[in-house]
């Protein structure tokens, strides 16, 4: 099937906009979205799998932006994230690495073994189960002094669950009465340690000051006291916004600063909220904040995996990264197809780095446009930069054959579980989509509207509590085509269509049929019966 569009092929990614039944907590169905509503009935549309095995995770695991964009950009589901970590721990691969052995050796030789990262079992960025396994192994190997720097979650898990994880950890360490294992500092992921895309290095600096210097906004004797007091100070503060604190002893001294000779294992297996703190511990040339007299040789820093495949940071990691080949952007670059990727800061890395197989290196003819996100909390500016993204994309549409963009509002505002704000976010996206669609139609192009995972459609748990995490719901995919090409194809009858079918669909829309054999089949097939039958059989073969 040869399709030929005068205008561009546009992939519009609605971050965190899933599909489920209408209800009072579904900000997607309750939002006023006249353009999306009409498009979903007028144009070919299909629900896509965006969680679990469909995106390379374990069955039942909610999807996320990293694996969603990876899967779209590499045309297949590659085992990664928690699925890859599960395998590495189950086989003992982690414990056989030289860096794990060296981290333990230093801890037994007078140092302290530190752990840091997202302190939950959300399975998106981390899972403290693996930290517990490493603590158990370290204890068995003779390590007795360990400290934890807890980045509280409140997004991939319930917004007020910090105490549950502290109770779990306290129960866990009671198994080791001869060891000295304590939480030494903590704070919410949006204020302490875990910045991403260099949007606010002050978050990393605040974490560094607590972890390395023992300085913070608050000081407490126990982490449970910290949460209880901070909740009294601000009763509605979600875990992700908990202020930074340091645990001190009876003499008001920090109980677990990271010092020269210590080892640090960062437990996140997702890169975006780990790379900056990894740079702080490992870069010699570090301009983002003053580290004092610290030198990268002072602390042996180990990452759960590689956090930047271009710079190979960190040098020491427990699990080698997944190797992505045959990416869509590389394939299109080799074909001479001009490309544009655009989003605002909070999702810029997803539509570039993750979509391109964990690499910021551009293909020939590929350009990136980043729009600075608002610094205020997302629920205060729920429209985010949807209009500005539309402005930038519309201005550049005539220049490129393939354009991909990401509207972050459904995910970033959805993470707050603020229903009214999330409704506004979805409505702002609808307005922006309509503007882009009109321009694409004028140019004789086609737009594929899709999402990377669910979130905004489910803002409350079954027990009535706020839901700030992603979902396992399918996501929409709408092919907005007003050209004569629309007469040539129909939706393929795939067994379980998913995000992995996007790459081949884009290639097909661009008139290319020699895409990599590793890719899953396109979502469309030719209407002509004989050709459609052959194409359908090929699609089933590829899917299998």
d(CA 256, CA 409): 38
Is 250 part of a structural domain of the chain?
yes
* Confidence grade of residue 541 (pLDDT, cut at 50, 70, 90): low
Do the domain assignments include residue 175? yes
402-407 and 245-247 beta bridge pairing: unpaired
Q: pTM (2 decimals)?
A: 0.81
Q: Are 112 and 145 found together in one domain?
A: yes
- 382 and 238 in a single domain? The answer is no
Selection from 428, 422, 426, 431 nearest residue 380 by Cα: 422
**Domain final residue pick, 265, 286, 319:** 319
**CA–CA separation, 453 vs 16, rounded Å?**
5
Residue range 416-465, pLDDT digits in tens: 999 999 999 999 999 999 999 999 999 999 999 999 999 999 999 989 99
Question: Residue 147 domain-assigned?
Answer: yes
Is 1 part of any domain?
Answer: no
**Is the same domain home to 236 and 214?**
yes
For residues 33-45, average pLDDT: 97
CATH number at residue 256: 3.40.1450.10
State both tokens at 49: 């799998």
Q: Which of 303, 319, 335 marks a domain boundary?
A: 319
Please tell me whether residues 309 and 422 are part of one structural domain.
Answer: no
Rounded to the nearest 5°, which phi and psi values hold at 449?
-100, 125
Ordered strands of the 180-188 beta sheet: 218-220, 245-247, 180-188, 145-152, 113-118, 263-266, 300-305, 317-319
Tell me whether strands 339-344 and 263-266 are parallel, antiparallel or unpaired: unpaired
DSSP 456-507: TT--B-TTS-B--S-B---EEEEEEE-SGGGGGEEE---SS-BGGGHHHHHH
* 450 and 476 Cβ atoms separated by less than 8 Å: yes
CA 327 from chain centre, in angstroms, equals 18
| Per-residue pLDDT at 539 | 55
Residue 202 and residue 539: Cα distance in Å, rounded?
A: 49
**Cβ–Cβ under 8 Å, residues 476 and 41:** no
Which of 29, 40, 51, 65 is the catalytic position?
65
Does one domain contain both 185 and 57? no
Question: Is residue 4 in some structural domain?
Answer: no
- Both 71 and 90 in a single domain? no
Which alpha helices (DSSP H) does 25-161 contain, by range?
27-30, 34-42, 65-74, 81-90, 93-96, 98-108, 128-140
pLDDT of residue 531: 55
One domain, residues 139 and 247: yes
Q: Are 74 and 503 in contact (CB under 8 A)?
A: yes
* Longest pairwise C-alpha distance within the chain: 82
Residue 46 backbone phi and psi in degrees, to 5: -150, 150
Q: For the domain that residue 438 is a member of, what is the CATH number?
A: 3.40.720.10
Determine, yes or no, domain membership for 486: yes
> Quick check: helix, strand or coil at residue 33?
coil
Q: What is the average pLDDT across 111-116?
A: 98
When pLDDT is averaged across residues 120-148 and rounded to a whole number, the result is 96
Of 160 and 538, the one with more pLDDT? 160
pLDDT band at 538 (very low <50, low <70, confident <90, very high): low
In contact, 432 and 389? CB cutoff 8 Å: yes
Cβ proximity of 457 and 14 under 8 Å: no
- Region 6-14 average pLDDT: 98
Number of compact structural domains in the chain: 2
Percent of the chain with pLDDT over 70: 97
399's CB contacts (< 8 A; 6+ apart) are: 338, 340
Measured between alpha carbons, how far is 263 from 142 in angstroms, rounded to an integer? 15
What is the DSSP pairing of strand 9-14 with strand 402-407? parallel
Whether residue 2 is contained in a domain is answered as no
For the segment 181-220, what is each residue's pLDDT rounded down to a tens digit? 999 999 999 999 999 889 899 999 999 999 999 999 999 9
Arithmetic mean of pLDDT over the chain: 95
Enclosing domain of residue 489: 9-79+324-543
Does residue 3 lie within any of the structural domains?
no
What is the tens place of the pLDDT at every residue in 363-411?
Answer: 999 999 999 999 999 999 999 999 999 999 999 999 999 999 999 999 9
Q: Specify the residue for token string 């993750």.
A: 354
> 479-518, pLDDT tens digit by residue?
999 999 999 999 999 999 999 999 999 999 999 999 999 9
Q: pLDDT band at 544, cuts 50/70/90? A: low
Among this protein's residues, is 65 annotated catalytic?
A: yes
- Claim to verify: residue 488 and residue 536 sit in the same structural domain: yes
Cα distances (angstroms) measured from residue 422 to each of 31, 232, 310, 335: 9, 27, 35, 40
115 and 155 in a single domain? The answer is yes
Looking at the structure, tell me whether residues 43 and 93 fall in a common domain: no
240-276 confidence digits (pLDDT tens): 999 999 999 999 999 999 999 999 999 999 889 999 9
* Token reading at 401: 């054959």
Let me know whether 131 and 276 are in one domain. yes
Q: Residue 416 and residue 377: Cα distance in Å, rounded?
A: 9
Same domain for 288 and 329, yes or no, is no
Of the three residues 273, 288, 319, the one that is the final residue of a domain is 319
C-alpha span between 214 and 203 (Å, rounded): 15
Residue 543, pLDDT score: 54
């Amino acid at each position: 099937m040869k399709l030929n569009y005068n205008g561009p092929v546009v992939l519009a990614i609605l971050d965190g906009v899933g599909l489920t039944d209408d209800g009072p907590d579904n900000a997607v169905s309750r939002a006023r979205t006249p353009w999306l509503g009409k498009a979903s009935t007028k144009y070919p549309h299909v629900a896509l799998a965006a969680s679990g095995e469909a995106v390379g995770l374990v069955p039942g695991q909610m999807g996320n932006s990293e694996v969603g964009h990876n899967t779209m950009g590499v045309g297949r589901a590659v085992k990664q994230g928690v699925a890859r970590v599960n395998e590495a721990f189950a086989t003992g691969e982690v414990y056989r690495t030289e860096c794990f052995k060296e981290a333990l050796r230093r801890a037994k030789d007078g140092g302290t073994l530190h752990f840091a990262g997202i302190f939950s079992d959300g399975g998106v960025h981390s899972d403290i189960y693996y930290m517990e396994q490493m603590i158990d192994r370290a204890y068995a190997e003779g390590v007795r002094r360990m400290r934890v720097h807890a980045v509280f979650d409140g997004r991939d898990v319930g917004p007020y669950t910090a105490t549950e994880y502290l109770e779990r950890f306290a129960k866990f360490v009671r198994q080791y009465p001869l060891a000295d294992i304590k939480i030494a500092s903590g704070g919410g992921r949006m204020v302490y340690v875990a910045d991403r895309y260099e949007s606010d290095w002050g978050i990393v600096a605040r974490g560094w000051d607590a972890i390395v210097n023992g300085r913070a906004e608050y000081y407490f004797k126990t982490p449970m006291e910290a949460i209880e007091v901070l909740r009294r100070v601000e009763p509605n503060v979600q875990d992700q916004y908990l202020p930074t604190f340091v645990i001190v002893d009876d003499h008001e001294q920090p109980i677990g600063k990271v010092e020269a000779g210590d080892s640090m294992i960062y437990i996140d297996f997702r890169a975006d909220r780990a790379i900056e703190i990894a740079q702080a511990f490992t870069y010699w040339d570090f301009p983002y904040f003053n580290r004092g007299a610290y030198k990268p040789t002072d602390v042996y820093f180990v990452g759960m995996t590689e956090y930047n495949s271009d710079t190979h940071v960190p040098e020491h990691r427990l699990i080698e990264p997944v190797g992505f080949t045959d990416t869509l952007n590389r394939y299109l670059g080799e074909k001479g197809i001009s490309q544009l990727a655009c989003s605002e800061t909070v999702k810029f890395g997803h539509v570039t780095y993750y979509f391109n197989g964990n690499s910021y290196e551009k293909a020939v003819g590929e350009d990136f446009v980043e729009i600075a996100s608002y610094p205020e909390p997302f629920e205060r500016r729920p429209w985010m930069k949807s209009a500005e993204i539309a402005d930038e994309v519309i201005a550049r549409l005539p220049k490129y054959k393939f354009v991909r963009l990401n509207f972050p509002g459904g995910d970033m505002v959805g993470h707050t579980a603020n229903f009214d704000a999330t409704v506004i976010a979805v409505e702002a996206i609808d307005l922006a989509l309509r503007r882009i669609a009109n321009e694409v139609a004028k140019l004789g192009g086609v737009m594929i509207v899709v999402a990377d995972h669910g979130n905004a459609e489910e803002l409350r748990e079954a027990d009535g509590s706020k839901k700030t995490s992603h979902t396992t719901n399918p996501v929409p995919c709408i092919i907005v085509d007003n050209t004569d090409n629309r007469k040539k194809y129909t939706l393929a009858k795939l067994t379980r269509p998913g995000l992995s079918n996007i790459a081949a669909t884009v290639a097909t829309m661009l008139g290319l049929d020699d895409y990599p054999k590793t890719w899953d089949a396109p979502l469309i097939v030719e209407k002509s019966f004989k050709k459609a039958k052959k194409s359908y059989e090929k699609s089933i073969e590829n899917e299998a």
